Structure 1
C-alpha cells in the first residue's frame, strides 16, 4: 500500500534531487583566477581552439598546471617579455597586470622544471677534438706540439668544432697512430735517426718596419718561432729574406743590413747581408753571315717563350741571403728561435704625409723599402750527445731504476705507467690497465733500453680509447630518467670546459674521494681552475669559435678601400677581442658587459 501511495510523487522527488545537485555543483565551481581572466579578455579571442592563431589555443590550456604545457607557455612568456602580445592596435592590459601574468607563468615554469628536471642527453662517447688533444698532450707530458701538422682538421658548424666527434674513421685512426709514435719518441728523447728540416713561413703581409715582440730591443722586423728540439745536438738555423718573384733579388736591399739570429732571446750570431754584384753580361755573339736573316714564326715564338721562362724562373746569380745560415749547439726542449734586423735610423722622415702601414706586394715582387724575413728553417739534429733534460722527460720519468736488474726496472716502469695512465684515463687505474701497458713496455725493452720500453708503452697509451674518448657510462639500473653523473665524469666536464684539457691531479683526487659534488668543494675547485693560466682556453678556444676569431687569417679586405690593413692589424684585432672577453671572465663581470661595456684594449696601431 505504501508503495502505491508514493508512486505518483516519485518523478517530483527525482526532479527535486537533480535540482539540488545542480545547485550544489554550481556552488562548488571555482572562481576564475586573475591570470585566466586576463587571458580570456585579451588573448583567447584570437588564440582559441577555433581560430588557433599562430597554432595556439589558450582557451584549453590549464593555468593551474603550467608544467603540463611547458612548451606552449614558454612561447607565451617569450612574446610577453618582448612586449609583442597583444599586437599593436589591439586592447592591452595595464602594465601591472601584464607583469603579473608574465611573472606567474615564469614562476610556475621554474617550479615545474625544478620538480621534474630534464637536463637533456649528452653524448656518452665523444672523441677529443684537435684542441683538446693538443692540450691533453701538453698537460700529460709537458710537451708542446703542433696538432695541425699531426691530425686532420675537425668538422665545424657555426664556428664550433666539437659537433661531430663520435666516430674514428680508418684514415683518422692512422693519423692518430702516427701522431702517437712521434709524440712518444719526442717525449722520452729517443734518438733521431736522421736530420730533418722544418721551415716556418712568415705571413707575407706582416709589417716588419718596427720592433717585433719577443726579439731583442734595437732590432726591427723579423719573426719568432716556437720549436721543440728533440735532443742535445747541433742544429742549422737558416734565414731566407723576401725576394722579387722574377729573380733572386732581395727586396729593399739597397744598403748592407745586419741580421741577428737568436735562441730564447739570446743572440747566437750577427751576419751582414749585402747586395751582390750583378754578373757581367757575356759578349754579344756575332751573327754568322751564312745564317738566314729570317726565322720561321714557330721557331721565333719558341725562342721568345724560352726567353720569358729564363727571365721569370732563372736565379740569375747567387742570392744575397745564401750565407744567412749558422750551425749552433742547442739543448733539447722547447725553444724560441728568432731572426731580425739590427735597427737603423731613418735618414729621411716623412713629415708632410703619412705613409701606408701595409706592405704592398705586386706582380713585380716585394716592394718594401727595407728587406724582410720570409722564412726560418731549422735543420737537425747533427752530432747528437744525448736526450737532454727536457720538461717532458721530467714529467714522464718520476723515477729511474736503482740498478740494471729486471726487478728494479719493472718496479719503476710500473710506477711510471700507473701515474701516466691515471692522468690520461681521467680515473683511478686498475691492475689490468697497468698490466696491459707493461706488456708493451716489455716488448720495447727487448729491442732497446729502459727508455725504449717506456716509449713503446706510452705509444700504446696515446691510442687507447680511454684517452682519445670521453666516456660517460649510464647507471647500472638502466634508469631512463635524469640521474647524477659520477664525480669523475663531473671532473672531466669541468676540466674540458674550463681548460679544454684533462683534469689535474688535485681535481682527480677530489673526484676520486667522492666529494667534488659538494657545493663548497665544487665552488672552490671552479675558482681555482679559473685562476689557473689554462683557463685562458675559454678565450682562445671557446670565444675564438663563438666569435669566429679563427677565421681572421682568411680575411683580406679590399686593399684599395683599406690600404693599411695587414697581418699586424689583424693580430691586434684578435688580441683586443681576447683581452676584452678575458676581462669579463677574470674580473667576474656581467655577461651584459659584452654589449654595454665602456672600455676596450688598444695598442697604437689599432687606435689609429
Structure 2
C-alpha cells in the first residue's frame, strides 16, 4: 500500500475510525492530507491478496519481528499474538486484529530500536494484506446488523420520558450525575453505566415524580381547642393543669365555622372519676343534637380520647361536651366527676378533588369510590396500572408484571395508605424497574452472534422515538406497533415525516446537533475579558442560539444539508448583530437575516464555532483546522507525539512574528509538518475572525493573511473561498454526517461491517440532493437500525 508523503501513513491511521470499508477512511484522509490523492473519487482498490498470504507471509512476519516481545511468556503491554496465528482469528478476535493493523500502519510497531526491523516495503506489504483481510466486507453476503448494548436512559431521555409518560413539569434528572460520552454522544450504551449514587437518585426521583403526578386527597385539617379557647357552663372550672374540672353538671364548648360540608371527626380528651358503680358520662353534642354519650374511664388524671365521626353541612355550629351524671355521697365518700382537657375537630375527611393536576386525571382512570372493600381498590388499581406499565415499559405489560405492581398497592393499603397514596407506591416501583430505566431489546439467543433477528414493532417504535425525539413513543407509534404495521415501508416513512414535523424533533437540535458541533462546550469557554470586554454570558447564549436555529431551519425546511457549510443566511438579535458588525437588526428576539455581500456563510463562520476553536487570548488555526477535519470532513488528525514542543517555544524564538510565521517555525519540527500542513491551512482560512468571531482585517500591526493552499492543491483566499473548497468535498462531508447521525441513532459506535449500510445511505443521500429527511429515512430503513444480533466479535 503506497502512501504519499511518507508520514501520510501516520495521518491515515488517525482517520481509521471503527467503521471502515476496504481502506475508505484512508481515502478520506488522503483526499485532505495527501497531495497526490486528491483526484481519487472512489474507495482505493487493493491488490488481490494471495490465498495463502496469511500462512506464508503474515505469520512468518510475526514470527520474525513480533513474537519475541509479544509471545506467550509475559508479553509486553499484556498483548500476545499467540491467539492470532490462524486466519480464523481474524473473525473471532477482530478487535485485536484492528489493534495490530493500527500499530503496523502507524509504524509504531516494531519499535525504532527493534532488531531486526522490517523495511518500508515489507511493512507496507503486510499493511496492505491486513487491510484487505481485516476490513474487507462482502456487501452481497449476509450483512451483520451489529448489536446495541442494553441502554439506560440518559438524563435528557429520562426527563423527557417522565414528562411524556406522566405530564409532570419538572426535570428530576437534572440532579443526576453527568452522563459519560462515547463516540461524541451521551446516548451510547457502552458508556451509560449505573453508579450507587445514581441508584439513590433514581429512588428519590421516582418518589418525587409519583407524588407530583398523583394528587392524594388533602390531609384532613386538625383544629385543637383548650384552655381559654373554650367557653364553659355550669360547674366547669379551668384548673392549673390546663383541664376543665366538672364537679357537677356543666359543659365546655366551641363555636366553629365548618367551611366545607363533609365528614368530620369530633374528639374530646377527658378523664373521669367513678362513683356508685358508674363511670362519669360525657354527652357530645353538635348544636342541640346529642351525638353520643361516652362512659369516661377513670382515673381522672389519665386523659383518654373519645371521638365520633359525623357529617356536617357548611355552617357555624356549637361543638359541646357536657357532664350529665353528677353524683355525690359524702357519707360514703363517693364523688363522680369529669375532667375535659380539650376539644378537637378533624376534617373534612372526604375533601373534594376538583383541582387535581392533569397528570392525575390522565393516570388515575379508575377509583374504588366510597367502597372500603380491599378487592374494590385492587381492581381499580389494576385498571390504572396495566396501561401505565405498558406505556412506561414501551410495550404491553405482562400479567405477572401487573400482578407484581398491584401487590404493592395491597401492601401499602394494609399499612394504612389511602388509595392514591398506595398508587404512588406502585408507580414509584414502575419508575425504578429496569424495563423503564433501560431500553431492553431481548434476544432469543443473546450470546450467539450468528443469530440475527428483526426488531419487533415495539422495539422499532422505541428506536424511532428516542432517535428523533429523545423520549418514549407516543400513542400513535404504540398503536401502530400493536397492529404490527411499523415495518411497512410506507407506514414507516409516514411516521418519520410526522415525527420530524412534530415540535419534539427539537431534540435533534438540542442533542444531536449540539453534540456533533460541540455547542455544549461553548459554556466552558472563557475568552479573556480584558481583550474581549463585550463577551459575556448573554452573548455566549446568543451564539449558541444562532447555530441551533440554523440547524433547525435546515431540518424543518428539509434543506440540502450542505447548506450547513455555505448557507447565506443566519439568525441574529441586536446584540449578536452588533457583535458581527451587521446593521439593521433590533431587539432581543432572533430573526432570519440574509448574508448577501457579507463574509459569513454557514456554521463555520458562526461565533459559536469560531469561539470554541480559539484560545482565551487569540485565535487557533490548529484548533479550527482540527475541528473541521473531525466534525465536517470526518478525518481527524492523529494525536501529536508526546515529545512535540508546544507552540509557545516557537513564540519565544520569534516573539514579533505573526501567528502564521510562528506556526511555520513549528512545522519545521520533525514529525509536525505532515499533519500541520492541513490543519494550519484550513485554520488560516478563518483568520479574519478573531477569538470571539468578530471580523478583523489586521492582527495587531499586521494585515491578516487568510489565504492558503491545501496539500491536495486547492487554493483559497479568505473564508468564503475556503468554504467553497470544502463544499466540493461533498462526498466526504455527507459520509461524515451519515456516520455521525447513524452513531447517534443506534447508540453505539460504528464497526467495519457497518460500512455496507453507510455506503448505501451515502449514495441515497446524494441522490436525494442531501435533503435532511432523506438522510433520516435512509437511516431508519437500514439493517443496523431495523435488526440486531447476539453478542460476540
For residues 552 and 101 of structure 1, what CA distance do their matches in structure 2 show?
A: 36
State whether structure 2 residue 24 is matched by structure 1 residue 74.
yes
The residue aligned with 2:365 is 398
Seen in structure 2, the aligned counterparts of structure 1 residues 385 and 155 have a Cα distance that, compared at 3 Å, is: farther
Residues 115/587 of structure 1: CA separation in 2 closer, same or farther (3 Å cut): farther
1:571 aligned partner: 541
* Distance (Å, rounded) in 2 between the aligned partners of 1:483 and 1:82: 39
Match of 2:479 in 1: 509
Alpha-carbon shift at residue 489 of structure 1 (Å): 1.5
Counterparts of 1:596 and 1:82, CA distance in 2? 19
SS in 1 for 2:453: coil
Q: Which runs of 5+ in 2 are unaligned?
A: 11-19, 48-131, 220-350, 579-793
The match for 2:738 is none
CA change 1:150–1:129 in 2 (3 A) is same
Per-residue deviation, 1:514:
2.0
- For residue 472 of structure 1, what is the aligned residue in structure 2? 441
Aligned to 1:151: 176
1:424 aligns to 2:392 (yes or no):
yes
Q: Which runs of 5+ in 1 are unaligned?
A: 1-42, 56-69, 89-94, 194-383
Matches within 5 A, 1:591-606: 591-606=561-576
C-alpha displacement of 1:453: 1.4
Note if contact 1:143-1:392 (Cα within 8 Å) is conserved in structure 2.
yes
Q: CA RMSD in A?
A: 3.8
Check conservation: 1:160, 1:546, Cα contact below 8 A. yes
Does 1:484 find its partner at 2:435? no
The residue number in structure 1 matching 2:421 is: 452
Give the direction of change, closer, same or farther, for the CA distance of 1:431–1:112 in structure 2 (3 Å limit): same
Q: What does 1:516-535 align with in structure 2 at a 5 Å threshold?
A: 516-535=486-505
1:422–1:428 CA contact under 8 A, matched in 2: yes
Q: Are 2:379 and 1:411 aligned?
A: yes
1:194-238 per-position Cα deviation (integer Å, ceiling 9, x unaligned): xxxxxxxxxxxxxxxxxxxxxxxxxxxxxxxxxxxxxxxxxxxxx
Q: Residue deviations 1:290-336, cap 9 Å, x none?
A: xxxxxxxxxxxxxxxxxxxxxxxxxxxxxxxxxxxxxxxxxxxxxxx
Which of residues 150, 153, 176 is equivalent to 1:128?
A: 153
CA deviation map 1:571-595 (0-9, x unaligned): 2222211111111111111221111
Structure 1 residue 465: deviation in Å?
A: 0.6
Structure 1 residue corresponding to 2:406, chosen from 438, 451, 461: 438
Residues matched between the structures, number? 350
> What's 1:540 paired with?
510
The 2-side partners of 1:511 and 1:156 are apart by 31
Partner SS, residue 570 of structure 2: coil
1:171–1:117 distance in 2 versus 1, CA, 3 Å: same
Note the 1:257-336 alignment, pairs <5 A: none
Question: What are the equivalent positions in structure 2 for 1:30-429 lying under 5 Å apart?
Answer: 71-74=21-24, 77-78=27-28, 84=34, 86=36, 112-123=138-149, 125-148=150-173, 150-157=175-182, 160-163=185-188, 164-190=190-216, 388-404=355-371, 405-429=373-397
3-state SS of 2:368 partner? coil
> 1:190: how far off?
4.2
Counterpart contact for 1:443–1:456, Cα < 8 Å: no
Distance apart, 1:566 and its partner CA: 2.4
Separation in 1, partners of 2:503, 2:523: 25
What does residue 531 of structure 2 align with?
561
Q: For residue 176 of structure 2, give the secondary structure of its aligned residue in structure 1.
A: coil
- Asked if 2 retains the 8 angstrom alpha-carbon contact of 1:495 and 1:502, the reply is yes
* Residue 419 to residue 574, structure 1, CA distance change in 2 (3 Å): same
